[in-house]
Structure 1
Amino acid sequence: MHIHFVIIGILFIILALIHIIFPKYFDWENEFKSLSLINRQIMKVHTIFIAFTVLLMGLLLITSSNELLETDLGKKIIFGLAIFWTFRLIIQFFGYSSKLWKGKLFETTVHIIFSLLWFYISSVLWIAYFDY
């Protein structure tokens, strides 16, 4: 289980760093022009804090897998993470329109990869919570 936590931790750090390219890749400078100042800033600040939270989750899994797996508090944290990432898996299918990816090779590939990623993360966390 420790190796899965390290793998997920590394994936979380990579995912957090990928957020750096969001503004340019998604053309936020033009896309956000029609938004009010508060909505533009909320989007940017929330993205930064999502990335920061995912980064911290990654560091926690890499540096503290023993404590997470072997203590009562660790089990509670794993339970919370399992719920969080299970909801992220569900949102992958019900929070985004399939119009964003259907019929588009790159977008469909990304959708499938992230669906599998969220499934892997959720599964490992639930297994760690119930069986480890």
Structure 2
Amino acid sequence: MIIQLKVVGVLLMLLGTIHILFPHLFDWKNELDRLSLINRQMMLVHTFFIALAVFLLGLLCLMYPVELLSTKLGKAISMGIGIFFGIRLLIQFIGYSPRLWKGKVFETAAHVFFVVLWGYLTGIFVFVGLG
């Protein structure tokens, strides 16, 4: 399970880092120009902090897998993270319209990839939390 937590750590650090590309990938310069200043800045600031939190969760898994597995606090933290990603998995289905991905090869592949990723993360962290 230590190896699994280290794999999860690397994946989360990569996911956090990939957020740097979001403004370019999703054409935020043009898309966010339509928003009010407060909404535009909230979008950017919240995205930064989500990316930072995901990166730091990955760093936690990479640096302290034994503590996550063997201490009461580590198991509680893991369960909390498992609940977080379980809710994220649910949101993948109810927060995004199927019109965004159905019938589109790349978008459907991305949807399936994230369903698998959120399911994997949920499973690992809940398993550690219950362990």
Assess same fold via TM > 0.5: yes
Pairing 1:32-51 to 2, within 5 Å after superposition: 32-51=32-51
Aligned to 1:24: 24
| SS of aligned partner of 1:113 | helix
Instruction: State the alpha-carbon separation in 1 of the partners of residues 76 and 126 from structure 2.
Output: 11
Aligned to 1:94: 94
Instruction: State the alpha-carbon separation in 2 of the partners of residues 42 and 10 from structure 1.
Output: 27
RMSD: 0.7
1:101 Cα deviation from its structure 2 partner? 0.4
Letter in 2 for 1:103: G
Aligned length: 131
Q: Which runs of 4+ in 1 moved over 6 A?
A: none
Instruction: State the alpha-carbon separation in 1 of the partners of residues 120 and 25 from structure 2.
Output: 26
Aligned to 2:68: 68
Q: Residue by residue, what CA displacement relative to the aligned partner does 1:20-42 show, whole Å, maximum 9, x if unpaired? A: 11001100111011100000000
Letter in 2 for 1:30: N
Instruction: State the alpha-carbon separation in 2 of the partners of residues 19 and 128 from structure 1.
Output: 27
Instruction: State the alpha-carbon separation in 1 of the partners of residues 56 and 17 from structure 2.
Output: 12
Instruction: State the alpha-carbon separation in 2 of the partners of residues 25 and 104 from structure 1.
Output: 17
| SS of aligned partner of 1:103 | coil
Instruction: State the alpha-carbon separation in 2 of the partners of residues 55 and 129 from structure 1.
Output: 20
The normalised TM-score by structure 2 is 0.98
The normalised TM-score by structure 1 is 0.97
Instruction: State the alpha-carbon separation in 1 of the partners of residues 126 and 26 from structure 2.
Output: 33
